[in-house]
Amino acid sequence: MLVAIGGAATAGPLEDAVAAYQRGDYATALRLWHPLAEQGDADAQFHLGVMYESGQGLLRSDAEAIKWYRKAAEQDDAVAQFNLGVMYTKGEGVSPNHAEAPLWYRLAANHGLAGAQFNLGMMYAEGQGVSQDYVQAHMWPTLAAAQLQSLGTNQRNTTVDARDRVASKMTPQQIVEAQELAFEWTIEHRHVGRLRALLESIQRGKETPDRLAVVPGQVQAQAGDLEGSPGSSSVGLHGLMLEDLSSRPNRRALNLRPSSRR
């Protein structure tokens, strides 16, 4: 947010807090973010959660991190939703709750967050907190893999390998169903760039030409219809894996799966 004062653009307290955080002045960042968070600013609430989770400038508290992540998540901050899913999965600040974790992962996954899509898929593969469903377990990593090219081969290979392990337990008809669901999700959420990446991802994978042939015929036409539509290539949601987060504290969404910080 920029506020024009006397003809010049001046950063507001949220941007000042980010700048303070980046230079390691956590006390200033906390002083600026806390009142904004109390007033209901979702971005400030998210950042408070980060600071409490990492113990930067204050006493580390997973319980406080969850409190602030939840406030941001309830305002539809996708990365806060993802982090809540991780904390409920691992039992950080709460007892492990594998029934609640997928609820938060799904919200973040529907925003396009690849880490959440992967984790949700693995919960379906293992029947953890949800009924085991190999179609869903294949669909979600397929969506994640379609957007990971720019983050290097390791994350993409991890995702594709996990998806292919699930595929080895599926019938050809189930794989087709999972692919169709992935296309439908991509079209519904108007991610044109990801639709093309999804096609490329499947073509580079282990699926046979016969399976590719049954991809819904309307996909290419609908992709054309979306061309040039507002927000078609980037919807600007918080925490998209391909979003430039250089101006913000590190977010766990940059990792495909959460790594131990201890």
Per-residue pLDDT of 151-164, as tens digits, reads 556 777 888 899 99
Q: Which residues pair with 4 in a beta bridge?
A: 9
- Which has more confidence, 226 or 84? 84
pLDDT beyond 90 at 212: no
Work out the angle between the directed axes of helices 192-204 and 172-188 (0-180°, nearest 10).
160
251 — pLDDT class (breaks 50, 70, 90): very low
pLDDT of residue 20: 94
Phi, psi of 239 (to 5 degrees): 80, 10
Count how many domains the chain has.
Answer: 2
3-class DSSP assignment, residue 9: strand
Whether the pTM exceeds 0.85: the reply is no
Work out the angle between the directed axes of helices 172-188 and 134-145 (0-180°, nearest 10).
50
Q: How far is CA 235 from CA 81, 193, 217, 243, in A?
A: 17, 11, 25, 10
Q: Are residues 68 and 107 in the same domain?
A: no
Full residue range of the structural domain in which residue 26 is found? 14-75
Q: What does the alpha-carbon distance between residue 163 and residue 134 come to, in Å, rounded to a whole number?
A: 10
What the block records as the tokens of 75 is 């305002």
Q: Is residue 204 part of a domain?
A: yes
Q: Are residues 35 and 102 in the same domain?
A: no
pLDDT beyond 80 at 149: no
3-class DSSP assignment, residue 48: helix
Q: Is residue 81 part of a domain?
A: no
Q: How far is CA 19 from CA 12, 28, 165, in A?
A: 11, 10, 43
Q: What does the alpha-carbon distance between residue 184 and residue 243 come to, in Å, rounded to a whole number?
A: 23
Q: Are residues 125 and 209 in the same domain?
A: yes
Q: What does the alpha-carbon distance between residue 234 and residue 31 come to, in Å, rounded to a whole number?
A: 33
Q: Is residue 186 part of a domain?
A: yes
Q: Are residues 19 and 121 in the same domain?
A: no
Q: Which percentage of the chain shows pLDDT scores above 70?
A: 66
Q: How many CB atoms lie within 10 A of CB 261?
A: 10
pLDDT beyond 70 at 54: yes
pLDDT of residue 227: 29
Q: What does the alpha-carbon distance between residue 78 and residue 178 come to, in Å, rounded to a whole number?
A: 24
26 — pLDDT class (breaks 50, 70, 90): very high
Q: Is residue 146 part of a domain?
A: yes
